[in-house]
Structure formats: C-alpha cells, structure tokens
Amino acid sequence: MAEQLTAEVAAFPLQTGRASMANDEHVALLKQGVAAWNAWRDENPDIGPDLSEAILGGPDLGGAGLSGANLFQADLSGAILVKANLDNADLSMAWLVPRVTPGPGGESIQNADFSGANLSGAQLILAKLDDANLSGAILVKANLSKARLNEAALNSTMLVNTDLTGADLTGCQVYGISVWGLKLEGAKQQNLIITPENEPEITVDNIEVAQFIYLLLHNQKIRDVIDTITSKAVLILGRFTEERKAVLDAIREELRRHDYLPILFDFDKPANRDVTATISLLARMARFVVADITDAKAIPQELNVIVPDLPSVPVQPLLLRESSEYGMFEH
C-alpha cells in the first residue's frame, strides 16, 4: 500500500523547505498534543491560531479544535484529522495528501469537520473524506483527484474548477451545491442526495445536474420554462442575406401570432462553437423545424443531422418558387 501511494502522489511534489510564516508559539503548542492544544483554545477563545505555512504533517490531530485557524499553505501531509474541527478555517493551498509510509494515512481525514472552511487550491489527492463535513466549504481549484468522499456532506459547498478526477462521491449530500467547470473523468457519482434532511430523500447520479433536478422539482417557473421550450419552440434555419432575412422575419412574426416561440439561427455569421452540435441541441428542444433551403449553403449539412437523428421532429422545408432544390435534397 505504501508503494502504491508513493507512486500516486509522485506527480504532485510536496513544497518543502519553505520558511514558516506561522506563529511559532502556536505551532509549538499544537505539537504538544491535542489535549494541551484544546485546553489552550478553551482558555483563549478570542485568539485566532496562525499556523500558516507550518509543517504539521504526521502528528495525530484527531479531535483538535482548529476552527477559524489560519492554515494557509500548511503542510498537513499524513496528519490524522479524525473528528478534528476545522470549520471556517483557512486551508487554501494547504497540502493534505495521505502519508506514504505504513500507517493509517489515507484514513486520516474521515469524520473531520471542514464546514465553512476555505480549501481553495488545497491538495487532497487520494484523501479519504468519508463522512467528512464539507458543508459550505470553498473548494475552488482544489485537487481531490482519486479522493474518497463516501457519504460526505457537501451541502452548499462551492466547487469551481475543482479536480474530482477518479473521486468517489457515492452517497454524498449535495443540497445547495454550486458546481462549475469540474473535472469528473472516472468519478463515481451514485446516490447523490439532492434534498435537505427535512425533506423526503431524492437521489441522482450526476453532481453537475443535481441542482438543476432540485430546481425542476421545486420551482414552478423553471417547470414552466421547460414546458414552454419543449412544447412551443420552433427552430428556423436559413440564410440571413438581405432578401431572405425578410422572409425569415415574417415567418417568425407569424409563429408568434400562433403562440409559438421562434428561435432563429443565422448561418452567415461566424460561429464560436461547433455549428452542428448547436443545431442538433436546438432541434431536440423544438416542436418542429422550418428550413428555408433557397440558395442553401450550410443548411443541407444540418438537415443531414436533424432528419436521420431526430425522426420525431417534423421538418418543414421552404423553397422560393422557380428555385431548384439543392442536390441530394430528395435523399
């Protein structure tokens, strides 16, 4: 096991040899043991411990009262933090990877309380965070690759550009979670609980759609929007040349009078995303498609995707009288 962890962490070199910016007295107190540390904190509740950039890897800090502590860039590699209280602590850029020598190591962070903690940029590679409380924590750009978070609390947690490659999120509580730009390749996402504790439990298997599913279930306006899009949207395809744009605008106005939601796609303007993928997505949402094939250019390619792939979506082609259909139109 030690050899395996050594190989896994090898790609993430530990930042050693740094000058400590921590309060030396606070570091010395912590190294005296959890009992002495907690007693000191009880006697000095108004002092915010400064352990920034301190090298604290290795000791047993299980049950330590580290709430509100400054642990910016601290090295906690292999530290045992079982049931430690780290709520509202600043652990941004901290290093919390498991130890690579025989011992509990990877189990060192189970049951820890990180609620409200700042873990921006923290290194939690391979960490075992089973049952840990990360509610309200900030995990912006944190590295949780191959971490295990079975049944961890991620309620109201901020995950932005967070690396969850290969992580195990089975059974996590994700009510109120904020997710943007995650790395999820190989991540295990099963039985994610999207409801708060006081509501019947609903689970999904995708963390990126969890908040959307909850909104869909509890927000009538969202449901109305979805219903409008799927029942009234009409995709209009055509060329926005001066002559043809007038025709497309007239079609749009007529559709509005019939209580449809027209969506126009302009092929003549440069696209900043894959055009075929965009058209396919819009067509999937449409009640039907109107395609002006007069002087067609890109439209044949798009219809070649829509018609075979979406047989349930009606397509109404339009052609200027006395114009010819483009080649392969019949096919």
Kindly state whether residue 328 falls inside one of the protein's structural domains: no
Rounded Cα distance between 91 and 78, Å, is 15
**CATH number (domain holding residue 36):** 2.160.20
Write the single-letter amino acid at 172.
C
Residue 224's pLDDT is: 77
Q: Does residue 289 share a domain with residue 210? A: no
Return the structure tokens found at 23: 């309060």
Say if CB 202 and CB 193 are below 8 A apart: yes
pLDDT at residue 199, as a whole number: 84
What is the rounded distance in angstroms from the CA atom of residue 144 to the CA atom of residue 57? 18
User: Token pair of 328, please?
Assistant: 């392969």
User: Among the three residues 187, 218, 249, which one is the final residue of a domain in this structure?
Assistant: 218
pLDDT value, residue 107: 52
**Can you give the pLDDT at residue 142?**
95
- Rounded to 10°, the helix 24-31/34-43 angle is 130
What is the sign of the dihedral through the CA atoms of 209, 118, 110 and 156?
negative
Question: What does the DSSP 8-state code read for residue 146?
Answer: T
SS3 236: strand
Instruction: Tell whether pTM > 0.75.
Output: no
Same domain, 235 and 183: no
Query: Does 93 share its domain with 107?
Result: yes
CATH number of 241's domain:
3.40.50.2300
Answer whether 193's CB lies under 8 Å from 155's CB: no
The pLDDT score that the predictor gives to residue 99 is 56
* Among the listed residues 73, 72, 51, the one whose alpha carbon sits nearest the alpha carbon of residue 64: 51
Among 186, 218, 250, which residue terminates a domain? 218
Q: Are residues 128 and 246 in the same domain?
A: no
| Domain, as residue range, for 161 | 1-218
**Cα 218 from Cα 223, distance rounded (Å):** 9
Residue 111 within any structural domain of the chain: yes
pLDDT (0 to 100) of residue 138: 95
Which of 200, 218, 236 is the endpoint of a domain? 218
Q: What are the angstrom distances between the C-alpha of 25 and each of 39, 47, 331?
A: 15, 12, 81
Asked if 166 contacts 187 with a C-beta cutoff of 8 angstroms, the reply is yes
20 in Cβ contact with 27 (< 8 Å): yes
Q: Say yes or no: 4 and 117 in one domain.
A: yes
Residue 4 to residue 105: CA distance in whole angstroms: 12
Domain presence at residue 268: yes
pLDDT at 64: 93
Token pair 């939601």: residue: 261
Comparing CA positions, the residue from 280, 289, 296, 294 lying closest to residue 260 is 289
327 falls within a domain: no
- Check if the beta carbon of residue 79 is closer than 8 Å to that of residue 96: yes
pLDDT tens track of the chain, all 331 residues?
434 444 444 444 434 334 447 899 999 999 999 999 999 999 999 999 999 999 987 778 989 999 999 999 999 988 888 889 999 999 999 998 775 444 445 456 778 899 999 999 999 999 899 999 999 999 999 999 999 999 999 999 999 999 999 999 999 999 999 999 999 999 999 999 999 988 888 999 999 988 888 888 877 777 777 777 778 889 988 877 777 888 888 999 999 999 898 988 765 554 545 677 778 888 888 899 998 888 777 778 788 888 888 888 999 998 888 877 777 777 7
Q: Please report the pLDDT score of residue 100 as a whole number.
A: 47
Q: Is residue 330 part of a domain?
A: no
Residues contacting 124, CB < 8 A, separation 6+:
96, 97, 109, 142, 143, 144, 147
Shared-domain flag, residues 257 and 193: no
Q: How many domains does the chain have?
A: 2
CB contact at 8 A, 15 and 96: no
- The reply to whether 156 and 235 lie within a common domain is no
324 lies in some domain: no
**Same domain for 185 and 126:** yes
Residue 272 backbone phi and psi in degrees, to 5? -100, 10
Q: 213 and 257: one domain?
A: no
Q: Is residue 323 part of a domain?
A: no
Tell whether 229 and 201 lie within a shared domain. Answer: no
Flag whether 106 is in a domain.
Answer: yes
305 in the same domain as 163: no
Residues 151-162: b if buried by 16+ CB within 10 A, e if exposed: ebbbbbbbbeeb
Q: If DSSP codes are grouped into helix, strand and coil, which group holds residue 233?
A: strand
Q: Which long-range contacts (CB under 8 A, 24 or more apart) does 35-38 make?
A: 37/64, 37/65, 38/63, 38/64, 38/65
Specify whether 232 is located in the same domain as 286.
yes
Give dist(CA 11, CA 146) in Å, integer: 13
- Calpha distance 279→110 (Å, rounded): 47
Question: How many residues are present in the chain?
Answer: 331
